A and B are shown apart, each in its own frame.
Chain A
């Protein structure tokens, strides 16, 4: 009996995510691309396999998400990277990082390099290691913010709902009008 309950709990356990939307994002993190995959209710995709594909569909590599839904991938070519994870049961996470962003990570920075060095004046006495530590700290600080923004984007407001209902009323009103006109004409 106990085994049955456990088995049932295991089957039901991962399922609730079914009712939610998949959200995925990628961003530069030093010399790597960091990404996160999860569901709009805040559940993250744990140990999901992420396929990394080039613009022509060739496989560039793979990554596995950690307990917080994060994964990292170190790019080697300045081309667009498509990250795809199949979360099962009709949930597919897909997110692309454009070629110029990947190029910036690799330090190749094709066009924007001049602009970037201008806006970031040579910092007085920071070593490379210190600069990286600061960048890491800032990334860690804004991570919850980023997640909150992603969750906020998925939030449906009352206006959206009322707008949808308005569309339905209008559409069926139009149908009603057309049907009535046809009936009157007949």
Chain B
């Protein structure tokens, strides 16, 4: 999921950096005092989630948790995920500094899309219905992220279809796991802290 330095062409890297800066600016504006702690917690969970390797067959894949961040934060997912990505680059060597913008967009934009599409549906109805929509949103965010990664590679010259298929199929287990995780997280949050979703539903 983390594209490394040198794998993308310069126009893609520059476009990614500008798009990320725009998203972060929008996110910071929407980040009210009340939502800063939530953003910090989700940033930290994103940072650590990448270390949780889920064994699938002969190898393993790692969690991303961008759908959950998007559903709870909306546009504020941009700065939260950017901080997580930056620290992953510095501490773990995932990705790279020059492609940080492109990686941020690849991971945070699907999160925001998941919030736009499913945020309202998650916030109303019974907690169980909200949890199911949350699960769908969590899976959707991963699927959209794989599509974005493949598109970024395609624009840099990699053949689009093989690259997209490779990334997509590798992440089907992640999609399933994150859908379940996000569903349960929404279920729990709807029961213990329902006001968490009111901002998401009204904005």
**A-side interface residues toward B, CB under 8 Å?**
8, 11-12, 14-19, 21-22, 41, 43, 86, 88-92, 94, 154, 156, 160-161, 163-165, 167-169, 171-173, 175-176, 179-180, 183
Given that A43-B59, A91-B7, A156-B51 are contacting pairs, would A15 and B169 also be in contact in the complex, using a CB cutoff of 8 Å? yes
Q: Contact: A16 with B57, CB < 8 Å?
A: yes
A41 vs B33: C-alpha distance when bound (angstroms): 41
**Separation in Å of the A174 CB from the closest CB of chain B?**
10
Given that A168-B43, A172-B39 are contacting pairs, would A90 and B4 also be in contact in the complex, using a CB cutoff of 8 Å? yes
Q: In the complex, which residue of chain A has the Cβ closest to the Cβ of B103?
A: A90
What residues of B have a CB within 8 angstroms of the CB of A88 in the complex? 158, 162-163, 166
Cβ of B170 under 8 Å from chain A: yes
Cβ of B18 under 8 Å from chain A: no
A18 vs B1: C-alpha distance when bound (angstroms): 7
Q: Contact: A21 with B170, CB < 8 Å?
A: no
Cβ of B127 under 8 Å from chain A: no
Most chain-B CB neighbours within 10 Å: which of A89, A161, A176?
A89
Q: Contact: A156 with B92, CB < 8 Å?
A: yes
Q: Contact: A89 with B163, CB < 8 Å?
A: yes
A90 vs B88: C-alpha distance when bound (angstroms): 17
Q: Scoring B residues 152 to 176 as 1 if CB is less than 8 Å from chain A, else 0, what string do you get? A: 1100001000110111011000000
What residues of B have a CB within 8 angstroms of the CB of A154 in the complex? 93
**B-side interface residues toward A, CB under 8 Å?**
1-8, 31-33, 36-37, 39-40, 43-44, 47-48, 51, 53, 56-62, 83-84, 87-88, 91-94, 149, 152-153, 158, 162-163, 165-167, 169-170
Q: Contact: B4 with A92, CB < 8 Å?
A: yes
Q: Contact: B47 with A164, CB < 8 Å?
A: yes
Q: Contact: A168 with B60, CB < 8 Å?
A: no
Q: In the complex, which residue of chain A has the Cβ closest to the Cβ of B43?
A: A168
Given that A15-B166, A88-B163 are contacting pairs, would A172 and B40 also be in contact in the complex, using a CB cutoff of 8 Å? yes
A165 vs B8: C-alpha distance when bound (angstroms): 29
Q: Contact: A90 with B59, CB < 8 Å?
A: no
Within the complex, which residue of B7, B32, B59, B153 is in contact with A16, where a contact is CB–CB below 8 Å?
Answer: B59
Q: Contact: B59 with A41, CB < 8 Å?
A: yes
Q: Contact: B149 with A90, CB < 8 Å?
A: yes
A94 vs B4: C-alpha distance when bound (angstroms): 11
Q: In the complex, which residue of chain B has the Cβ closest to the Cβ of A93?
A: B4
Contact sample, A vs B, 12 pairs, CB 8 Å cutoff: A16-B61, A18-B166, A19-B59, A19-B60, A19-B62, A21-B93, A89-B166, A156-B91, A156-B92, A164-B47, A172-B37, A176-B36
**Separation in Å of the B162 CB from the closest CB of chain A?**
8
**Separation in Å of the A16 CB from the closest CB of chain B?**
3
Q: Contact: B56 with A16, CB < 8 Å?
A: yes
**Separation in Å of the A180 CB from the closest CB of chain B?**
6
Q: Contact: B53 with A19, CB < 8 Å?
A: yes
Q: A168-B44, A180-B33 are in contact. List 13 more A-B contacts (CB 8 A).
A: A16-B61, A18-B61, A19-B1, A21-B93, A22-B4, A41-B59, A90-B4, A90-B7, A92-B7, A171-B83, A172-B39, A176-B33, A179-B31
Q: Contact: B48 with A165, CB < 8 Å?
A: yes
